[in-house]
Amino acid sequence: MRILLLVLNLTGKGTYWRALYLGRELAERGHAVTLVSTAPQHRLRLHVRAVDGLTHVEAPDLWNGALRSGWDPWNALRRVGWLAGRRFDVVHAFETRPTVLLPTLYAKKLRHTPVVLDWADWFGRGGSVEERPNPLLRALLRPVETFFEERFRGIADRTTVISTPLLERAVQLGVDPATVRVLPNGCNTRRFFPVDRDAARRQVGIDHDGPLIGYCGTIFARDAELMAAAFDRLHALRPDARLLIAGYFPADLRARVAAPHAVIQTGYVADHLLNDYLGACDLCWLPFCDSNANRGRWPMKLNDYMAVGRPTVATAVGDVATLLRREPIGLLADPDPQALATQTLRLLDDPELRRAQGRHARRLALTRFSWAALAAEVEALYQEIV
């Protein structure tokens, strides 16, 4: 099949990885896959290149910063212009902001191409828009995010959702439940794999022999507060514990904890070093508050933790809680600081349990949560509608 994957994100950010890993596996299954994302820098021209066996198109965007995230009319029009004259057997659109929605509507209405809509984040009312600290910005963005997120769900021939709460939300909006599939994120076991803990610490220059708790990537402000409070309680009981935050993080957590010397915050990390940073940890954290934004998501960082063979201590929120109740890959805690600290201490004090849970997490990464297995499910979905 000729498959078009449309994402609003900048190349290398957010849902881009979900589409890229899925597209790569579909290409390996013999399909002609094209992935369209937003160029990090280009303003006027489209750029086309080959990436991992698929065709990668970067669409230009005139806006800056956070606005470079699916809203630019020029970006949307350039995508439609590129799409004119090209035929695809199926379009898989990741989210429904304008830069994805407009070319999707063109393909659906004018070219009669079957469409799959993917829903991977709860952006609108009740979702991540409510996590914005500025009340004026929340009030301005809520109706806009909600309109684009909800209004067009009915155009899809099939819908993929990243979590059960988003499946329920889609059905509430009138989507036929028989046409919806839950598609969690998969594990990139080529990029992430188990390494010796002490060797990994030497590789990234961490001179510490005690417990190391890992976290990677961005976070909501309320979740950062939960993380800081939980670490304060843990560090009071285990002064030798350290918290490693690898990669981009939107706050300085050291300013929020009682022992800033015990927090290692790396900032940007080169791709080839992230595996060692995670491998340097004894366990990893998912400290999420109980909110719609967190219930509706499936954090890809959990897949990375699984792939490196490290157990996770997570708060009992959303489908992550369901997974950890079914599979022994970590421990669950109530979404409050003391519970998170208590469960972390329990796992730190049981190295054999950590090793067993880490091994099981790696097995899941290679099997049920491999991108190859998920691509086979998506391929069958496409075949239903082509």
Of 109, 125, 126, 108, the residue nearest 117 (C-alpha): 108
In a domain, 162, yes or no: yes
In a domain, 77, yes or no: yes
Q: How high is the pLDDT of residue 327? A: 98
Q: Are residues 81 and 58 in the same domain?
A: yes
Q: Are residues 182 and 141 in the same domain?
A: yes
Contact 241, 348 (CB under 8 A): yes
Of 370, 379, 376, the residue nearest 158 (C-alpha): 379
In the chain, the N- to C-terminal Cα span, in Å, equals 9
In a domain, 228, yes or no: yes
CA 186 to chain centre: 10
CA distance 174 to 164: 16
Q: Are residues 178 and 295 in the same domain?
A: no
Q: Are residues 42 and 84 in the same domain?
A: yes
Question: Is the pTM value of this prediction over 0.75?
Answer: yes
User: Nearest 5°: CA angle at 166, between 320 and 16?
Assistant: 80
Structural domain boundaries enclosing 269: 197-366
Q: How high is the pLDDT of residue 86? A: 95
pLDDT digits (tens, 9 = 90+) for 18-55: 999 999 999 999 999 999 999 998 999 999 999 989 99
Q: How high is the pLDDT of residue 323? A: 98
Q: Are residues 244 and 130 in the same domain?
A: no
Q: How high is the pLDDT of residue 67? A: 84
Q: Are residues 304 and 181 in the same domain?
A: no
Q: Are residues 173 and 258 in the same domain?
A: no
In a domain, 134, yes or no: yes
Reported as half-sphere exposure (CB side, CA atoms, 13 A), residue 71 has a value of 11
CATH of the domain at 207: 3.40.50.2000
User: Nearest 5°: CA angle at 17, between 266 and 254?
Assistant: 20
Q: Are residues 177 and 313 in the same domain?
A: no
At 369, list the tokens.
């949560």
Reported as half-sphere exposure (CB side, CA atoms, 13 A), residue 294 has a value of 22
In a domain, 156, yes or no: yes
Show Cβ contacts of residue 169 under 8 Å, excluding neighbours closer than 6 positions: 119, 122, 296
Reported as half-sphere exposure (CB side, CA atoms, 13 A), residue 132 has a value of 19
Q: Are residues 162 and 201 in the same domain?
A: no
Task: Identify the DSSP state of 267.
Answer: B
386 residues of the chain, pLDDT tens digit each: 999 999 999 999 999 999 999 999 999 999 999 999 999 989 999 999 999 899 999 999 999 888 899 999 999 999 999 999 899 999 999 999 999 999 999 999 999 999 999 999 999 999 999 999 899 989 999 999 999 999 999 999 999 999 999 999 999 999 999 999 999 999 999 999 999 999 999 999 999 999 999 999 999 999 999 999 999 999 999 999 999 999 999 999 999 999 999 999 999 999 899 999 999 999 999 999 999 999 999 999 999 999 999 999 999 999 999 999 999 999 999 999 999 999 999 999 999 999 999 999 999 999 999 999 999 999 999 999 99
- Strand 158-161 to 115-119 pairing: parallel
In a domain, 152, yes or no: yes
Q: How high is the pLDDT of residue 196? A: 97
CA distance 18 to 299: 11
Q: How high is the pLDDT of residue 218? A: 94
If DSSP codes are grouped into helix, strand and coil, which group holds residue 375? helix
At 109, list the tokens.
């209405």
CA distance 191 to 193: 7
In a domain, 191, yes or no: no
Q: Are residues 119 and 209 in the same domain?
A: no
- Residue 228: phi and psi, rounded to 5, are -65, -45
pLDDT digits (tens, 9 = 90+) for 209-249: 999 999 999 999 999 999 999 999 999 999 999 999 999 99
In a domain, 192, yes or no: no
As beta bridge partners, residue 215 has 245
Question: In the chain, how many domains are there?
Answer: 2
Q: How high is the pLDDT of residue 31? A: 98
